[in-house]
Structure 1
Amino acid sequence: MSRAPRISLEGLVYHVINRGNNRQDVFRDEEDFDTYLKTIIRFKKKYSFKLYGYCLMKNHTHLLLEPVKPGTLSKIIQSITLSHIRLYHSKYKSSGHLWQGRFKNPIIQTDEYLLQCLKYIELNPVRANIVARPQDYRWSSYKFHAFDKDEYRLLDKDPAYLSLADTDTARQKAYQSFMGLKQDESIVGRIRKSITSDSVLGSDDFVDSLRERLDLATPRPRGRPRRR
């Protein structure tokens, strides 16, 4: 069965989830996490995408990103993944499949849905009982949004985050308060459904507008349809 093509339109934000093959660990130590983030920096310079959030877990990754140029999402993720595979196998003298065959990339509406998705991503280590608070986990974007700390200088501020307040300090406090509230199970369910089905997370109006844009962007065959 052929794979469905990825939707590629200007201005779309994607929640990219990539898992280890058979859910195996893809990061064994802190150096592996560090190397992966430095790899993202390298390809961010090459492809000029915007990175709004991330969380690296031992056996999977979450990236919330917006390609500047339509059609480059697959190139971005494949470049990062292949580079990581080479470095990983070189370090551990290993071989074989490391990541699963196809990453997930649900499209996220850039408003409250984006904030909820960001919250879901940054709470991963808390849900997994690795840490009690998101600020205690090093390998996520939480400290950037809550305290304006970007150790690797690779993050961008998305419009939904910027709309929280008029100043950096007020915005950080608003984000801390937002993250301190329990995430509604219904939105968690919708986010998980968007991941498993690789679909859109957004309002009905957003989905409809996306369908219209996709229809307009799809070339139509010339001439009359062939008679049967």
Structure 2
Amino acid sequence: MARPIRLEFPDAIYHVTTRGNEGADIFVDDQDRQLFLTVLGEVVSRSGWIVHAYVLMNNHYHILLETPNSNLSRGMRQLNGVYTQRFNSLHGSTGRVFQGRFKAVLVERAHALLELCRYIVLNPLRSKAVKNISRYRWSSYRATAGEVQAPTWLSTGWILAHFGRSSNVAQRKYAEFVEAGIGLASPLSKVKSQILLGSAGFVKKMKQRLLGKADSRRDKKRPGRPVLGTLFPLKVRNEKTQRNEAIRRAYQKFGYTMAEIADAAQVHFSTVSKVIKLGEQAG
């Protein structure tokens, strides 16, 4: 199945998730979880993202976020890249922490946003990590329900506005809403075209945007240029010298962007930038 095209525009809302490389845990302990939240807060501050809900599981995470500045991919490269660097430094390890490309579903605000917020924070119950959702520290549930102070980068106002004007009433009704969702089917089961969640009208409109972006990409392709993924088979990705040569060819000969190359090579954007810079200096 072909990788879906990223669709980014101001004020878009996404459910994003990334899993550990080869299914491995991305958090060894609570220190790692706190480290990830620190990095997330830094990215929110720089990017202007609005985070509505999140949960950290052992080998993946979920975030529901809004992008006023149309910068999802850039922010995600920072989030996963900086966390990987700090994780490896902390544990004396090397290599990838995350499994390739992050997954993002574009969400219609009026259609499924509340249900997604609920689905995200219920993950620890579904996985049987806890029996009481209030006992799970690593999600937005407790802050939104008023049980703990919310971090400065978490926005609870939009959710709580649906449940009452008084904070106490809204928080109580939010908790009841979440509890009522236990056992319900995932709203993600209604995703269309791998990346769209919303009404029929929303899906149709976004598909038109996707087609326009695909046409634009085709117009930019050079005659005879190879598909980027063919330059980075597993053997090449796993051998540093071959990988770096493929990065330079993709950029200098075939005109792919650094961001596109980073996705295909499954490395951080800064790695691609460094390889290309060193190549230019040597050449």
Same-fold status (TM-score > 0.5): yes
Query: Shift in Å at residue 89 of structure 1?
Result: 0.9
Aligned counterparts of 1:180 and 1:89: Cα–Cα separation in 2: 37
**CA gap 1:160/1:203 in 2 versus in 1, 3 angstroms:** farther
Q: What is the CA deviation profile of residues 40-92 of structure 1, one whole-angstrom value per residue up to 9, with x for unaligned ones?
A: 1111111111011100111101011011111x101111101111111111111
Matched to 2:204, the amino acid is D
Matched to 1:52, the amino acid is H
Confirm whether residue 25 of structure 1 aligns to residue 25 of structure 2.
yes
Contact 2:5–2:214 (CA under 8 A) maintained in structure 1: no
Residue 113 of structure 2: aligned partner: 114
Query: Shift in Å at residue 157 of structure 1?
Result: 2.9
Matched to 1:103, the amino acid is F
Residue 40 of structure 2: aligned partner: 40
**CA gap 1:89/1:220 in 2 versus in 1, 3 angstroms:** closer
Residue 58 of structure 2: aligned partner: 58
Q: What is the CA deviation profile of residues 155-185 of structure 1, one whole-angstrom value per residue up to 9, with x for unaligned ones?
A: 1136354222222122111101111114464
Query: Shift in Å at residue 150 of structure 1?
Result: 3.5
Unaligned runs of 5+ residues in structure 2 are: 218-283
**CA gap 1:198/1:216 in 2 versus in 1, 3 angstroms:** closer
Query: Shift in Å at residue 4 of structure 1?
Result: 3.7
Confirm whether residue 204 of structure 1 aligns to residue 200 of structure 2.
yes
Residue 124 of structure 2: aligned partner: 125
Contact 2:111–2:199 (CA under 8 A) maintained in structure 1: no
Aligned counterparts of 2:11 and 2:209: Cα–Cα separation in 1: 11
Query: Shift in Å at residue 191 of structure 1?
Result: 1.1
Contact 2:14–2:107 (CA under 8 A) maintained in structure 1: yes
Matched to 2:180, the amino acid is L
Matched to 2:11, the amino acid is G
**CA gap 1:158/1:106 in 2 versus in 1, 3 angstroms:** farther
Q: 1:170-189 residue pairs with structure 2 within 5 A?
A: 170-183=169-182, 185-186=184-185, 188=186
Unaligned runs of 5+ residues in structure 1 are: 222-228
**CA gap 1:191/1:30 in 2 versus in 1, 3 angstroms:** same
**CA gap 1:213/1:193 in 2 versus in 1, 3 angstroms:** closer
Q: What is the CA deviation profile of residues 105-137 of structure 1, one whole-angstrom value per residue up to 9, with x for unaligned ones?
A: 001221351111111110111111111121110
Residue 147 of structure 1: aligned partner: 146
1:37 aligned counterpart, secondary structure: helix
**CA gap 1:212/1:166 in 2 versus in 1, 3 angstroms:** farther
Aligned counterparts of 2:47 and 2:75: Cα–Cα separation in 1: 7
Query: Shift in Å at residue 193 of structure 1?
Result: 5.6
Residue 257 of structure 2: aligned partner: none
Contact 1:52–1:155 (CA under 8 A) maintained in structure 2: yes
Matched to 1:176, the amino acid is A
2:145 aligned counterpart, secondary structure: helix
Where relative contact order (Cα < 8 A, 6+ residues apart) is larger, the structure is 1
**CA gap 1:210/1:183 in 2 versus in 1, 3 angstroms:** farther
Aligned counterparts of 2:143 and 2:65: Cα–Cα separation in 1: 15
Matched to 2:171, the amino acid is Q
Residue 69 of structure 1: aligned partner: 69
Aligned counterparts of 2:95 and 2:105: Cα–Cα separation in 1: 27
1:106 aligned counterpart, secondary structure: strand
Query: Shift in Å at residue 213 of structure 1?
Result: 5.7
Aligned counterparts of 1:39 and 1:160: Cα–Cα separation in 2: 23
Aligned counterparts of 2:10 and 2:115: Cα–Cα separation in 1: 22
Contact 1:113–1:202 (CA under 8 A) maintained in structure 2: yes
Runs of 4 or more, structure 1, over 4 Å off, are: 212-221
